């Protein structure tokens, strides 16, 4: 059994009068960046395993999406300058005498991902600038230090997971996922993928401020825009009534101004503000569980794009949330799990595992210890699941 440095404490209970939760939806520029590089990290891991029978050094966690330019118009506008996706970090293209075309693979995988997840993004409006280079000798050497079960951690990082989600967190998550579901898009094609939900709770009162990029080709006029906007509000209310059964004040696109035509409406050509209004960057969006919960503790790393076998920024990020969820399911109690790594130390040997449990009993403590020990004893299985894409950011 692994001798882990485990510390388990009582969680200092507090009931915040004000709670704030944000979610940047599928088409938000920051989320587009996160999802592309996270998918790349999974696909590269799979391709490396197939081609080299191992996963060499790589990190694809640095990317920037520069907004394009469009001319919006009721009935359908046009793009005047495409979006530019700049990706730059480190990836191995050769192991021994065998070589793969890493730039071709990255390009193919990005466009395949866009095709599968976004209705209107493609090679014409979404240009890729690939700045991927080979890794540093010291980080590449981590992967060449003998055939051990686990690699050394490639960074010193602190990550945290928590469970369960609060009512507000579930509300914010649920509304965005509902609006971006395949069924809703089929019935309401004017709703773009760029949906940002800002939720707040003041005592027992709940509020949602939502930004939705409506697609101009599906909007006939200013009057049609406001009619469809009201229809979306009613759609959200019906979803909340069915799933949460509580009153929520809902506001959509609060910058809108009637009487100003196109300029008074939040319109896009392709369903994302990245087509003209806003740029994006990896790590500025949601945390690993898909939310930005301002009342919660936060880790020091974004999970998207990091490799699945040595980068604790990914491994510990998702593992902390997994462990916390398992502790909650076993104890029924709110908890936090912190995992801290040390660069060069084997990833199955964290510097510290810290767990805080609300109203902790001796039984809760024992259960948390068992869960921590089990997860690190089976860390190879979890890493295999990361490579298969079972656990993802968002």
DSSP string, 204-262: TEEEEEEEEEEEGGG--SHHHHHHHHHHHHHHHHHHHHHHT-S-EEEEE-TT--TTSGG
- Tokens at 214, concatenated: 């409506």
Res 365: pLDDT: 96
Structural contact between residues 47 and 100, judged by C-beta atoms closer than 8 angstroms: yes
**What is the gyration radius of the CA atoms in the chain, in angstroms?**
23
- Cβ neighbors of 216 (< 8 A, separation 6 or more) are 72, 73, 74, 75, 76, 77, 262, 267, 268, 269
Spatial CA neighbour of 210 closest among 182, 239, 183: 239
CATH node for 181-281: 3.30.300.340
Spatial CA neighbour of 140 closest among 93, 87, 100, 86: 93
Cβ-count burial of 222 within 10 angstroms (0-12 exposed, 13-18 middle, 19+ buried)? middle
Nearest 5°: CA angle at 65, between 270 and 86? 130
Nearest 5°: CA angle at 50, between 44 and 55? 55
Q: Using omega within 30 degrees of 0 as the cis cutoff, is the peptide bond preceding 164 cis?
A: yes
- Cβ neighbors of 279 (< 8 A, separation 6 or more) are 29, 64, 65, 66, 67
- Judged by DSSP in three states, 310 sits in coil
This prediction has a pTM of: 0.93
Res 238: pLDDT: 98
Res 278: pLDDT: 93
Residues forming a β-bridge with 98: 95
Res 137: pLDDT: 43
Res 138: pLDDT: 45
Res 54: pLDDT: 87
What stretches in the chain show pLDDT beneath 50? 137-139
pLDDT digits (tens, 9 = 90+) for 88-115: 988 988 888 999 999 999 999 999 999 9
Res 392: pLDDT: 84
- Tokens at 246, concatenated: 């509580």
Helical spans, DSSP H, in 90-166: 102-117, 137-141
Alpha-carbon distances, residue 8 vs 1, 162, 342 (angstroms): 18, 14, 20
Res 393: pLDDT: 80
User: Distance between CA atoms of 180 and 117, rounded to whole angstroms?
Assistant: 10
Structural contact between residues 191 and 236, judged by C-beta atoms closer than 8 angstroms: no
Res 235: pLDDT: 97
């Amino acid at each position: 059994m692994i001798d882990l440095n485990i510390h388990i404490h009582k969680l200092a209970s507090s009931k915040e009068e004000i709670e704030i939760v944000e979610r940047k939806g599928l088409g938000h520029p920051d989320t587009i960046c996160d999802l592309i590089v996270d998918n790349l990290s999974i696909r590269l891991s799979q391709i490396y395993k197939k081609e080299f029978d191992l996963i060499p050094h790589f990190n694809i966690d640095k990317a920037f999406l520069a907004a394009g330019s469009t001319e919006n118009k009721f009935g359908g506008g046009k793009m005047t300058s495409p979006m530019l996706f700049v990706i730059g970090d480190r990836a191995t293209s050769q192991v021994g005498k065998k070589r793969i075309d890493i730039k071709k693979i990255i390009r193919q995988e990005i466009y395949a991902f866009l095709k599968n997840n976004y209705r209107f993004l493609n090679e014409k409006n979404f240009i890729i600038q690939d700045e991927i280079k080979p890794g540093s000798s010291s980080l590449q050497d981590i992967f060449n230090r003998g055939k051990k079960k686990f690699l050394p951690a490639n960074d010193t990082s602190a990550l945290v997971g928590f469970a369960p989600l609060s009512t507000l967190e579930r509300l914010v998550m649920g509304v965005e996922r509902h609006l971006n579901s395949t069924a809703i898009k089929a019935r309401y094609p004017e709703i773009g993928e760029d949906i940002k939900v800002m939720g707040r709770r003041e005592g027992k009162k709940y509020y949602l401020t939502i930004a939705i990029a409506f697609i101009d080709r599906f909007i006939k006029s200013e009057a049609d825009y406001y009619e469809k906007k009201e229809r979306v509000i009613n759609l959200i209310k019906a979803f909340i009534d069915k799933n949460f059964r509580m009153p929520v004040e809902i506001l959509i696109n609060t910058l809108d101004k009637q009487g100003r035509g196109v300029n008074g409406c939040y319109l896009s050509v392709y369903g994302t503000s990245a087509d003209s209004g806003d740029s994006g960057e990896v790590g500025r969006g949601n945390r690993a569980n898909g939310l930005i919960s301002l009342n919660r503790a936060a880790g020091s790393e974004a999970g998207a794009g990091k490799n699945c076998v040595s980068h604790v920024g990914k491994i510990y990020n998702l593992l902390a949330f997994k462990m916390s969820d398992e502790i909650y399911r076993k104890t029924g109690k709110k908890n936090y799990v912190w995992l801290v790594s040390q660069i060069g130390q084997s990833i199955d040997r964290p510097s510290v595992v810290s767990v805080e449990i609300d109203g902790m009993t001796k039984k809760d403590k024992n259960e948390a210890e068992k869960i921590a020990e089990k997860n690190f004893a089976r860390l190879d299985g979890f890493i295999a699941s990361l490579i298969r894409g079972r656990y993802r950011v968002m």
